[in-house]
Amino acid sequence: MSPACAASMTRRRIIGTAVMAGMFASVCRSRQAVAQANGLFSLPALPYPENALAPVISSTTIGFHYGKHHRAYVDNLNKAVQGSELANKSLEEIVKTTAADPKRVGIFNNAAQDWNHTFYWNSMRPSGGGMPNGAIADHIKDSFGDYAKFRQEFTDAAVTQFGSGWAWLVQDQGNKLKVLKTANADTPMARGMNCLLTCDVWEHAYYLDYQYRRPDYVNAWLDKLVNWEFASQRLAS
């Protein structure tokens, strides 16, 4: 191998490591960081460029979904908590604190959507998808029987979620994995479950690219985008 080729490969490894580190750092910020000194949360950086998931998800969709929808949840959350007792709590604490409080449903919706979206961006990666391997593959086999059964259950959850919502792979009590679907801003994290992956099935996540064909979006998401490395990193022992 020539010195130039070796240097190029080294640069690619460094870039790949940095991208992966950014994915994990983004979620850590969303789960653990308290509001900034001025009492405001900020929109977390995407773990990849806006065009990195094309052609499965276009840069146009990411631009609207991340740049408009996700940003709006962050902005609305900041307005709702500023000056309140929630202003200095972490995002995860706000979600859990407001989840069962009908008087603070607006705060919950925006906080949970901020958390859900940050988790969704990290549940994907360029050139992802396909069957998992390693520890996550073993957990899927133990919990579902095989990957095909998991895939069918996850696809069914994502496709049959009526209206807006999410499909999730979570680790529940006893370390068993299971598939859930939630409506609107609801998140299993608020109920103490360890989330491993999520697929956003709100229309703004796919309609510009797939129109009414939600099953096509979900299948492409599983085949080409799902970030199994992220799910493995989140597994609790």
Taking each helix axis from N to C terminus, what angle separates 147-160 and 214-224, rounded to the nearest 10 degrees? Answer: 140
On whether the CB atoms of residues 218 and 201 are closer than 8 A, the answer is yes
Task: Collect the ranges in the chain with pLDDT lower than 70.
Answer: 1-39
Domain ranges of the chain: 55-237
On whether the CB atoms of residues 48 and 19 are closer than 8 A, the answer is yes
Structure pTM? Answer: 0.85
Edge-to-edge strands of the sheet including 165-171? 177-183, 165-171, 194-200
Provide CB contacts within 8 A for 19, sequence distance 6+.
Answer: 47, 48, 125
Task: For residue 97, give both structure tokens.
Answer: 């604190």
The predicted-structure confidence for 3-62, as pLDDT tens digits, reads as follows 444 444 333 323 332 344 344 344 444 434 444 445 589 999 999 999 999 999 999 999
Helix (H) or strand (E) holding 34, with range, is none
Range 55-237 classified under CATH 3.55.40.20: yes
